[in-house]
Homo-oligomer: A and B are copies of this chain.
Amino acid sequence: MHPEITALYGARFGIAGILSEDFIDLYRQPEATLKAVARTPSSALGTSRREVGAAELAQALDVFRAHGIRYFFYNGGNGSMGTAHQIQAIASAAGYDLQVIGIPKTIDNDLLETDHTPGYASTARFFASAVRDIGADNRALPGQVEVIEILGRNVGWLAAATSLARAEPDDAPHLIYFPEQRLPLDRLLSDIERIFRRLNRCVVAVCEGQLDENGEPFGADVRSGSRGSLAMNLAHRLALLVMERLKIRARSEKPGLLGRACTACISDVDWKEARRCGNAAVSAAIRGETGKMVTLLRDSGAEYTMETGLIGLDRVAFLERPFPAEWRNQDGNDVLPQFRDYAAPLVGTIERHRMLVDAPVSKSLNILHTEES
C-alpha cells in the first residue's frame, strides 16, 4: 500500500455512515474474515437509499477533513456515481485535496461507458437458472401459464438474461418483455394465448417495472418511495388477468430480492471482475486520478477478455443505459442473438436440463383420450 495511506475505513450503510461518522476499521479485519465476506452476498458494510442535498455534501466534507480522509472510493450505480461526482466537486471548490474514484456495482447493468457492471452477471445467472428450473416444472405439469417477475424498474437487462435459460427453441422463457417499451395488455394476452395454444404451457419473463399502454402497471398495487413508484405485485396481477381474460390457469413467481442475494448462483467471471474493479480503483487513486469511475472494456478477440479503464464521473452520473433497442426483436417480446453473444461469457454456462429420449410404447387399446384435468 502507498506509504501515506495509514488507515482504511468502511462507511456503514453508505453515505449515511459518512454523514454520521459511522466507520469500521477495515485494517483491523482478519484476513480470513475479508476472504469469507467477499463470498457473501449483499453489502457487508451495509447500504443506503438516502439522497443527499447541499447540506449533506458539506457535512461529508467536514467528516473527511476531521478524519484526514484523502481517498474516497464509492461503489454503486448511477445515483452513487452522481453523489461521488458531487463530493468531488465540493471538495475541489473548497480546495480540499481528495481523490474520488467510483467503482461500478449494480445488478441493473445500467451504467453508461462500461461494457457491463459487477453484480449484473450473478443476478443474470440467478434469473436464467430460475427460469430454466421453473420452465422444467411448467413442462412436467402443463396446462398453465407462469409469469415470472424479474428485477428491473426501468431497464430490461436482467429480463433479457433469462433467454440464456433456453437450450431448445421451445424452452422457457417463451416471452420476454422490456420495461423500456410500454406493453399493451392486449398484445401481452395475445402473445401468451398464441404460445399456450401451441405448447399447452407458457413461461413469461416480465420486469417489476413493466408498464402498460397507459403508462400504468396493469392495475397492480404500487408503492411510492424516493426513487418513484413501483408495482409491488406485477406478475401476480398479470397472472390474474390471464385467468380472467383468457380463461387459462395461471400463476406467478416473484423471487424478488433473492435474485440479487442468492449465494448459489454467483457467476465466477462476475466475482473476479468485481475484485479487479476494486484493484483498478485503488491503483488509479494512488496514481493521482480523481473524479473518475472504473470501467470494464471488452477486448475484441473471439475469446472473452476484459481490460479496466477510467471515465469521468460526469459521463455516468445519474444517467441510465437502457437495454439496446437493436438487441430486441421486432415484436418486442424476445432478445436477438447478439445479446447472447454479449451476455453468455459473463453469466457462464447455464447447464441444460436433459430430457428422456422419445421412445414411445405402441398402444394396445383404442381409448378415447380423455381431457386433462
Q: Which residues of A contact B (CB under 8 A)?
A: 7, 9-10, 13, 16, 19-26, 28-30, 33, 36-37, 39-51, 56, 59, 62-63, 66-67, 129-130, 132-134, 136-142, 146, 221, 223, 225-226, 232-233, 236, 239-240, 243, 249, 251-258, 260-265, 351, 353-361, 363-365, 367, 369-370, 372-373
Contact = CB atoms under 8 A, between A and B. Distances in A.
Given A28-B357, A46-B141, A359-B28, A129 B255 contact: no
Contacts of A356: 10, 24, 26, 29, 33, 37, 44-45
A45 B221 CA distance: 39
A46 B44 CA distance: 43
A250 B66 CA distance: 37
Contacts of A51: 373
A254 B257 contact: no
A256 B263 contact: no
Contact of A141 (B47, B134, B142, B359): B47
A232 B221 contact: no
A243 B225 CA distance: 13
A315 B115 CA distance: 61
Contact of A367 (B19, B37, B225, B258): B19
Contact of A262 (B133, B140, B260, B369): B133
Q: Give me the 10 closest cross-chain CB pairs, A-B, nearest first.
A: A253-B256, A36-B354, A264-B264, A23-B361, A66-B364, A28-B359, A133-B261, A42-B140, A25-B359, A42-B136
8 contacts: A23-B361, A29-B357, A40-B136, A41-B133, A42-B139, A56-B370, A67-B364, A134-B256
Given A25-B359, A134-B257, A134-B258, 12 more contacts: A9-B361, A23-B360, A28-B359, A41-B137, A42-B137, A49-B373, A59-B367, A63-B364, A232-B239, A232-B240, A251-B257, A253-B257
A232 B238 CA distance: 12
Contacts of A367: 19-21, 59, 63
B257 A140 contact: no
Nearest to A243: B223
